[in-house]
Amino acid sequence: MPGKQILIVDDEMGIRELLSEILEDEGYDIKLAENADQARQLRNQFRPDLVLLDIWMPDCDGVSLLKEWANGGQLTMPVVMMSGHATIDTAVEATRIGAIDFLEKPIGLQKLLSTVSRAIKANVTQANSELSLSSLGRAQAVHELKRQLELVQQLKTPVLLLGEPGVGFDSCARFLHHANTPFVAPEQVERALDAPAELLQQAQNGLLFLREIGRLPSRAQHGLLQVLAKLEKFNIRLVCATTRSLAELMQDRGFDAGLFSTISVLQIPVPPLRTHREDVPDLANQIMDRLVEERKVPPRRFGVAALNALRNHDWPGNLEQLRNLVATVAVTAVGEEVALAEVNRLLAPYAMQQTLGCGEALDLPLREARDIFERQYFEHHIKLENGNMSRVAEKVGLERTHLYRKLKQLGIRFSKRTLEE
């Protein structure tokens, strides 16, 4: 895709110049870095559409730089690793951290061009706003989650993720996904399971992620059982998630006992945000930086007092609530620095809910108080219906076009794919 920016990081001048000449002839805009320090500086200045990163460099190896970007929330672009003598373990480690491919030196012309084209195309088409698992935090609760996922990463057994709404199931599923294989995550699980054969074809040799399986009707459960029966044949790793407790599922007579037994062999709980609230300031900054990088909002940063308020909040909606709040304040903030009052205004409805209507939210102008209630109301129903906008529209009594217009007005994000439902 001509015009796309590629950052080449390699300590060998001959390699840099050769790759640069080839890719510039293809119409790409090339930036060069001879070491990790220069790569950091360039990454801080702009978000490249692709990074070609050498593994072995004198000051800091490429895997360490990749891990640094991942932990700092800067791994928002595809990275292809390069090396002439890397071990399989090194390549696997880079993939686990977030690299999407690997080029072995000497690099063939066609291999280079096809890999670059595929990586950039994937970056353009991927509609994924999830934070990577590496950037979810440094607290003990997150470390334990990573440890458990690493233990099952190479297995083929289905995994069941358990947790509250908005905890980051997608990030966990993507962590278990192997690069350069299909990642299939249907927006409407119930509808997708009506055609299990089609779902199996789409996910063949890859990972199938079903976001909420705890409330499937009997027909969809039957479809899931058909998928489970053919996972091995199609070489698919299945990851399911539910916000219902195991006790609820076991006691639900409408939930097939055989299905429950099969999908719950490997259970991994995903911690709510309040159990690692010390990570909230970093997460908020990462989300804001990504919005600014993608030019969705003007330059914005949180003030210290605003970050403290975010840290002290309980986050009943977890990461999804944090993302929505940051996206809203990024659009509505008056200046470049987000002030405490602007954060408190958006946190007020949750505080009001917890204190039975007492507090500063009652002192807001009517229009602001109404917007706060409506935002909370619609977010509640979208979560309740697992993003099915047809059911949300029906439940709240609005025509769908009016609903979409209202959500956009309130700054509530929703998948564009739901427009086609």
Q: What is the pLDDT of residue 409?
A: 77
Note whether 5-125 and 277-420 share their fold: no
Tens digits of residue pLDDT in 143-196: 999 999 999 988 999 999 999 988 999 989 988 988 778 889 998 999 999 999
- Stronger pLDDT, 388 or 258, i.e. the higher one: 258
Please, what is the angle between helix 366-384 and helix 340-354, to 10°? 60
Nearest to 134 by CA among 181, 36, 66: 66
pTM comes to 0.66
pLDDT at 130: 58
Distance between CA atoms of residues 327 and 413, nearest Å:
8
Architecture (CATH level 2) of domain 5-125:
3-Layer(aba) Sandwich (3.40)
Amino acid identity for residue 371 in this structure = D
Q: What is the DSSP letter of 58?
A: S
Q: What is the largest CA-CA distance in the chain?
A: 68
**CB-neighbour burial class of residue 4 (10 A; exposed 0-12, middle 13-18, buried 19+):** buried
* Predicted local confidence at residue 359, as pLDDT: 46
Query: 160 near 241, Cβ under 8 Å?
Result: yes
User: Would you say the C-alpha torsion 64, 123, 318, 370 has a positive or negative sign?
Assistant: positive
List the beta strands (DSSP E) in 125-206.
159-162, 183-184
Helix, strand, or coil here: 52? strand
Q: Half-sphere exposure (CA, 13 Å, Cβ side) for 194?
A: 5
* Domain boundaries, given as residue ranges, for the chain: 5-125, 134-271, 277-420
Helix (H, G, I), strand (E, B) or coil at 4: coil
Question: What's 134-271's CATH class?
Answer: alpha beta
Angle of CA points 102, 96, 164, to nearest 5°: 145
- Report whether pLDDT(418) > 60: no
pLDDT, tens digit (0-9, with 9 covering 90-100), for 357-381 = 434 455 666 766 677 778 777 887 7
- For the stretch 65-122, pLDDT in tens is 998 888 777 787 889 999 887 677 787 788 878 888 889 888 999 999 999 998 887 6
Answer yes or no: is pLDDT of 354 > 80.
no
3-class DSSP state for residue 29? strand
53: left (phi over 0), alpha (psi -120 to 50) or beta: beta
Asked whether 142 and 295 are in contact (CB, 8 A), the reply is no
Choose between 178 and 31: higher pLDDT. Answer: 31
Condensed to tens digits (0 to 9), the pLDDT of residues 249-277 reads: 888 888 998 999 999 999 999 999 999 99
What element of type H or E holds 302?
strand 301-302
Tell me, what's the pLDDT at 381? 79
The tokens 């291999």 sit on which residue?
111
Residue 266: strand pairing partners: 159
Q: Return the closest-CA partner of residue 65 out of 82, 85, 84.
A: 82
The verdict on domain 277-420 having CATH code 3.40.470.10 is no
CA distances from 402 to 179, 398, 411 (A): 40, 6, 14
